[in-house]
Amino acid sequence: MRYVQLRAFHYVAICGGFSRAAEELFLTQPAISDQVRKLEEEYDILLFNRHKKAVLLTAAGEKLLEITRRLFENEAQARELLTESRATRSGHLCIKADSAQHVLKILAIFRTRFPGVGITITGGNTDSVIESLFNYSADLGVLGEVPSGREFETVALNATPISAFVAAGHAISRRKILHFNDLKDIPLVMREEGSKTRKKFEEAAQVNGHSFRPAIVAEGREAVREIVASGFGVGFVSVAEFGDDPRLVRIPMAEEAEMMMEESLICLKERRAGKLVSAFFAIAHELARA
| CATH code, domain with 142 | 3.40.190.10
In this structure, the answer to whether residues 152 and 104 fall within a common structural domain is yes
Give the pLDDT confidence score for residue 99 in this predicted structure: 78
Give the pLDDT confidence score for residue 84 in this predicted structure: 59
Last residue within a domain, chosen from 50, 81, 112: 81
Question: How far, in Å, CA of 63 to CA of 279, rounded?
Answer: 32
Give the pLDDT confidence score for residue 231 in this predicted structure: 93
- Tell me if 21 sits within 8 A of 11, measured CB to CB: yes
Q: With 0-12 CB in 10 A as exposed, 13-18 as middle and 19+ as buried, what is 129?
A: buried
In this structure, the answer to whether residues 55 and 111 fall within a common structural domain is no
CATH code: domain of residue 39: 1.10.10.10
In this structure, the answer to whether residues 235 and 273 fall within a common structural domain is no
Give the pLDDT confidence score for residue 85 in this predicted structure: 56
Q: Nearest 5°: phi and psi at 132? A: -70, -35
In this structure, the answer to whether residues 92 and 214 fall within a common structural domain is no
Give the pLDDT confidence score for residue 77 in this predicted structure: 78
Q: What is the DSSP letter of 230?
A: T
Give the pLDDT confidence score for residue 236 in this predicted structure: 95
In this structure, the answer to whether residues 216 and 182 fall within a common structural domain is yes
Looking at the 3D structure of the chain, how many domains does it have?
A: 3
Q: Residue 69's closest CA among 222, 238, 289, 269?
A: 269
Give the pLDDT confidence score for residue 171 in this predicted structure: 92
Give the pLDDT confidence score for residue 128 in this predicted structure: 86
In this structure, the answer to whether residues 94 and 230 fall within a common structural domain is no
Last residue within a domain, chosen from 52, 81, 110: 81
Give the pLDDT confidence score for residue 123 in this predicted structure: 86
Count Cα atoms within 13 angstroms, Cβ side, for 34. 5
Sign of the Cα pseudo-torsion (277, 280, 286, 289, in order): negative
Domain limits for position 204: 158-261
In this structure, the answer to whether residues 43 and 73 fall within a common structural domain is yes
In this structure, the answer to whether residues 28 and 104 fall within a common structural domain is no
- Tell me if 28 sits within 8 A of 45, measured CB to CB: no
Give the pLDDT confidence score for residue 229 in this predicted structure: 96
In this structure, the answer to whether residues 162 and 231 fall within a common structural domain is yes
In this structure, the answer to whether residues 163 and 255 fall within a common structural domain is yes
Last residue within a domain, chosen from 63, 81, 99: 81
In this structure, the answer to whether residues 193 and 123 fall within a common structural domain is no
Give the pLDDT confidence score for residue 194 in this predicted structure: 79
Query: Which residues of the chain fall below pLDDT 50?
Result: none
CA dihedral 213, 218, 224, 227 (to 10 degrees): -90
In this structure, the answer to whether residues 125 and 194 fall within a common structural domain is no
Give the pLDDT confidence score for residue 79 in this predicted structure: 73
